Structure 1
Amino acid sequence: MPPWWGSRKGGGAVTARGILVVLSGPSGVGKTVVSEGLQQKAGFVRAITATTRTPRAGEQDGVDYLFLDRARFEQRVEEGGFLEHAEVHGNLYGSPRDGIEQQLVQTRAVLLLIDVQGARKLRQDGVDTLQIFLEPPGLEELRRRIEMRGVENEEMVDLRLRNALSEMEQKDGYDHCVVNEVLDDTVEEVASIIEEELTRRGEN
């Protein structure tokens, strides 16, 4: 049971049914599409994280992210509303505490897509997680995937690639590392890792 359970104001301990699965990796590695595959294949759910960045085309508030302005985000930080939060590429990202707690009661595994800063913070705070790092098959392929989004200028693409190198240097701090080359194979491998962990914990 995560140590932050049972410490909520005005309430007693809550028994978690599922496990919190952290998926990290460089921007453009495919965290979102892998999580979508896991939701379809295994019925896992994705935690809806909060951000101050501008929504991309097709993104919906409360579905893809909770889109907050900086003032509201910082207010929620002060209120202790996030399990972790970090600033990435000039935007704030955070994992809402209450929403994740509720999801963990209702499902076998909650997928939390966060960067290496957030994953490290959860470790430091003693939050019980299964942490999986998604790695690209190479930097040229990662560049191609970022450029396919069509929303980044060349300067931002180069920044994301530099950050990717830094992030990949931290992959050894994760429980598992999976190279996302073929999407279906990646989904299969990550699903197997999660199922094995559920079995090990006797929660399957």
Structure 2
Amino acid sequence: MGIKKTLGFGVVTAALGLTLIGGGTFAYFSDSVETTGTFAAGTLDLNADPTAIIDVGNLKPGDFAIRTFKLKNNGSLDIGKVNLATSYTVTNRAGAPANTDDFGKHIKVKFLTNIDKDETVIYETTLSALQSLSPDAVENTWLGWFEERGGLRAGDSDNLIVKFEFVDNNEDQNQFQGDSLNLKWTFTAKQGKGVAK
């Protein structure tokens, strides 16, 4: 082997040796940690007590009935609003001719009051007109210093009072004799605005 080859081989061997030594002695500190996350959705759970709000018979024009019921939030989330949807069916007395007017126009919801808020009148209208509306049953229209500002907090309840009146319009209302009106109120809870968690 010539001197150049021997020297070249020696340089390569030395470089390889230094690389192995350097690689073997190179070290650093390290540490690691794992993180986890959980996303659990809350619940909206609206209940009414009692669920049969009114059951009254033998009405005549001028009669009225006052009923109190409770809306309860049994869920884990605050409810932002509770919309009320109204529907009803009218059944004519057997053998009677069909009505020329809607019985629901003669049943007035005299007031729909939330006594837990501040006893303000939320709506005063007929059942017929209420079908096209969607009032918030837990709204507070008059904000006082110490009053709840609407909505229904988790675990809370609101007492509502409704006065129904068979309006005496001083006209012939004989067509409604023996009729029955079956009312259905559907309360739909909606969440409030999103907040920082």
For normalisation by structure 2, the TM-score amounts to 0.24
Higher relative strand content: 2
Higher relative helix content: 1
Q: Which one has a bigger Cα radius of gyration?
A: 2
For normalisation by structure 1, the TM-score amounts to 0.24
